[in-house]
Amino acid sequence: MYKTKVVIGAQWGDEGKGKISDFLAQNADVVVRYQGGNNAGHSIEFDGKRYALKHIPSGVFNPKTLNIMAQGMVINPKMLLDEMKELENKGIVNHNLVISDRAHVIFPYHLEIDSKLEELKEKKYGTKIGTTKKGIGPAYEDKYARVGIRFGDFINLKTFKSRLKETLFIKNMFLKSMGMKQYNVDEIFNEYKEYAKKLSPLVRETGLYLSKIIEEGKVVLFEGAQGVLLCIENGTYPYVTSSSPTASSVPLGTGLSPKHVLNAMGIVKSYTTRVGAGALPTEIEDEKISSHIREVGREYGTVTGRPRRIGWLDTVVLKHSIRVSGLNEIAITLIDVLDDLEEIKIGYSYNLDGKEIDFIPGSNEVYDSLKTNYITMPGWKKDITKVTSWNELPIEAQNYILKIEELIGVKITIFSVGPDRKQTIYR
């Protein structure tokens, strides 16, 4: 059987995927990012150093692992080169990076349109999404409008120039109508051709390569970015990102087929966070508790630095993610952040029009109006950051994890009690 595994955020992102992917990447031949772009911020800590990855897969710290940025991604070439440089400055020189020739390029106008739309929505209706302003949505829009530029065309300078001409012909009409700066071809071409030349040696066909090595029995890890509730299809639309961070999008985002994707691990934070707008039914109203969790958990965006909104764990959300991604195991992270709490709550169902439900309605408006039903568990009030095995966990912490497992019906196989690689433990 194939040795593939998908690692997915089962909430609203920032569950600690980078840390778990890095942990699993120790044994992986290849790590693949298959959607999103530098809106992701995967933080990884070991040997006293902290790294923040944006586009680059979390296998980059294992010199034997190949890291593929696959076709479902949108990549900002300038920011990718900066990210590589930053890693080099920290001593990570062997990147082992490959970019799919079908991945799309993010250009400056994507970032500008992203910011402008947010600004207009906010001003006119007070309904901005709270995007990371990295141009992700507009880059995916161009892909689907068939005016995007793939890396395979980007690195062929003649093709790049003619595709850019065609794209800017359309884009400039839009930019003009929005009262925004328009671009001439040379302005972008002259700067971006330098990035294209630098990245050109990394660009390859990757779908065929991946299918071959999977058939040969190599270990391949697919690393999702964001989380299922930010999925364009299954998330809390419109407050979502513009790609699908689920296991279902692995085949499309990599050039493989569903038969190659059999195991999916969900990463779950022991509470819930969300950046940006949209419903969060278990949001903690008690400011003392939420700011305590935010400070202890360092819950500020890796990409934007924004404070994250804090909620209790919500098993309706987890069951939703399990269903749409076929998650067959769970890793739970950041349990130590709850160390000082007297009581810990778990949301397990909602009330809608006087009826108890355990699904997520398709309307964000309806979802936002629900009342959550909670179970309250006693806290453990002990420092668990030095724990190295399941048996060393205080009984209350074990019970908390077991209760979650009972409510979601999927085995929790890994737990983590701190940011360092060493604090990730198999149960």
Residues at the interface with ligand IMP (CB under 6 A): 13-14, 39-41, 129-132, 134, 136-137, 225-226, 230, 239, 241-242, 275-276
Give the other-Cβ count within 10 Å of 56's Cβ.
24
Give the other-Cβ count within 10 Å of 98's Cβ.
21
Residue 232 or 316 with smaller CB distance to ligand IMP? 232
Nearest residue (beta carbon) to ligand IMP: 276
Residue 12 or 189 with smaller CB distance to ligand IMP? 12
Q: How far is the CB of 261 from ligand IMP (least distance, A)?
A: 21
Q: Are 148 and 142 in contact (CB under 8 A)?
A: yes
Query: 């082992």: which residue's tokens?
Result: 96
Q: How far is the CB of 75 from ligand IMP (least distance, A)?
A: 14
* Annotated catalytic residue 14: yes
Residue 46 or 237 with smaller CB distance to ligand IMP? 237
Beta strands in 200-262 (DSSP E): 203-204, 220-223
Among 1, 23, 31, 35, CA closest to 247: 35
Cα–Cα distance, 243 to 88 (Å, whole number): 29
Regarding beta strands 309-311 and 272-274, do their DSSP bridges make them parallel or antiparallel, or are they unpaired?
A: antiparallel
Rounded-to-10 torsion of CA 168, 173, 174, 176: 110
| Angle (deg, nearest 10), helices 185-199 and 157-177 | 140
Residue 102 or 274 with smaller CB distance to ligand IMP? 274
Classify 421 as helix, strand or coil. helix
Among 398, 404, 372, 374, CA closest to 384: 398
Residue 275 or 387 with smaller CB distance to ligand IMP? 275
Q: How far is the CB of 251 from ligand IMP (least distance, A)?
A: 21
* Annotated catalytic residue 42: yes
List Cα–Cα distances, 99 to 70, 83, 219, 252, in angstroms: 6, 14, 19, 16
Regarding beta strands 49-53 and 42-46, do their DSSP bridges make them parallel or antiparallel, or are they unpaired?
A: antiparallel
Provide φ and ψ at 399, rounded to 5°: -65, -35
Provide φ and ψ at 339, rounded to 5°: -50, -40
Q: How far is the CB of 141 from ligand IMP (least distance, A)?
A: 11
Q: Are 90 and 49 in contact (CB under 8 A)?
A: yes
Measured at the alpha carbon of residue 206, what is the angle toward residues 192 and 252, in degrees to the nearest 5?
A: 95
Cα–Cα distance, 10 to 31 (Å, whole number): 19
Residue 178 or 395 with smaller CB distance to ligand IMP? 178
**Residues, the chain:** 427
Residue 29 or 223 with smaller CB distance to ligand IMP? 223
Q: How far is the CB of 132 from ligand IMP (least distance, A)?
A: 3
- What is the 8-class DSSP label of residue 153? H
Q: How far is the CB of 55 from ligand IMP (least distance, A)?
A: 11
Q: How far is the CB of 12 from ligand IMP (least distance, A)?
A: 6
Residue 140 or 348 with smaller CB distance to ligand IMP? 140
At 257, list the tokens: 């087929």
Q: Are 377 and 413 in contact (CB under 8 A)?
A: no
Q: How far is the CB of 50 from ligand IMP (least distance, A)?
A: 16
Q: Which residue out of 22, 29, 42, 320 is catalytically annotated?
A: 42
List Cα–Cα distances, 395 to 43, 79, 331, 414, in angstroms: 29, 46, 19, 17
Query: 């296998």: which residue's tokens?
Result: 59
**Catalytic residues, which ones?**
14, 42
